[in-house]
Amino acid sequence: MRCAAEHLTPCTLELGGKSPVLVADDANIEVAARRIMWGKCINAGQSCIAPDYVLCTEAIRDQLIETCKATLTEFYGEDVKGSKDFGRIIHSCHFQRLKTMLDGVKDKVVSGGEAERSRLALYVFTEDNSLLQRVLHSISAGGVVHNDVLQQYSVSSLPFGGVGHSGFGAYHGKASFDTFSHYKPVLCTPAASYLENVNSIRCPPYSESKIKEVNKLQLPPEGLGGGTSRALRITSLVLQGMAGRRQS
């Protein structure tokens, strides 16, 4: 970003971030467990949008945990280390780094930590649409998936990106084209001489009568676009300013 700033080059950045999973009491636990564990274990969890942690009520906690454990056995057998389908950490340095992190939280309940960190992805398992809408309107995230994980990345028509500390901007499909494009507004006006009779109201010399005429035009007839009204308002302010300057 520093190098880009030196050359005024715009950036789109996906910076990673936490990706929580919300499992409501009414969720299909079997489906949620399979999809969560698939998303968490694919490539040994080494993806920026892998589920980081699960939030649920105590009412379904034990059932969800046991179902997740059973799903792991179904996917990779009794000995996950011996499974040919489970990904591996690329080298021993990263393996040891992850092992140290796990050893530090064994048999501990961790609360808080990164509460202010922006979410790159948010996964919500529920059949209650009102709850889903509440989550969508109250929790910020780069992207949201309902009743699944990771799938937002595979849909090319969906912009992919973060928000806040998890990044800014978006790409994929048309969003990639848009992020590397400049929206150049172009306004075309006719060069007809007869219009100068109307345009004279915006040109010097300025007078109180011109200001009054522009003020009348600020209330456009029905059907006249709001952009025209704003343009007239700006013209009025300019005229008032110039008239005031001339009087002073």
Residue-level pLDDT at 20: 94
Instruction: Compute the 3-state secondary structure of the chain and give helix, strand, coil in percent, each to the nearest 5.
Output: 50, 10, 40
User: What is d(CA 235, CA 202) in angstroms, rounded to the nearest whole number?
Assistant: 7
15-98+117-173: which CATH topology? Aldehyde Dehydrogenase; Chain A, domain 2 (3.40.309)
Task: Dihedral sign for Cα 39, 44, 46, 52, please.
Answer: positive
Q: Structure pTM? A: 0.72
DSSP category for residue 7: T
3-state secondary structure 196-212: HHHHHHHCCCCCHHHHH
Task: Dihedral sign for Cα 140, 146, 148, 151, please.
Answer: negative
Residue-level pLDDT at 221: 54
List 6, 14, 58, 66, catalytic entry: 14
Calculate the alpha carbon distances from 197 to 153, 203, 206, 235 in Å.
57, 11, 15, 16
DSSP category for residue 4: H
User: What is d(CA 146, CA 123) in angstroms, rounded to the nearest whole number?
Assistant: 6
Residue 239 contacts by C-beta under 8 Å, 6 or more apart in sequence?
201, 202, 206, 210, 211, 214
Q: How many CB atoms lie within 10 A of CB 21?
A: 22
CA contacts within 13 A on the Cβ side of 221: 0
- The reply to whether 222 belongs to the active site is no
What's the token pair of residue 84?
Answer: 């040919």
Domain ranges of the chain: 15-98+117-173, 201-247
Calculate the alpha carbon distances from 109 to 29, 104, 230 in Å.
23, 11, 58
What's the token pair of residue 5?
Answer: 């700033």
DSSP category for residue 118: P
Residue-level pLDDT at 215: 77
What's the token pair of residue 217?
Answer: 């035009």
pLDDT tens digits in sequence order for the chain, 248 residues long: 888 889 988 888 888 778 999 999 999 999 999 999 999 998 888 888 999 999 999 999 999 999 999 999 999 999 888 888 988 888 888 888 888 877 777 555 443 344 446 799 999 999 999 999 999 999 999 999 999 999 998 898 899 988 888 888 888 989 889 988 888 999 998 888 878 887 888 888 888 888 887 777 665 555 545 555 556 566 665 555 555 555 54
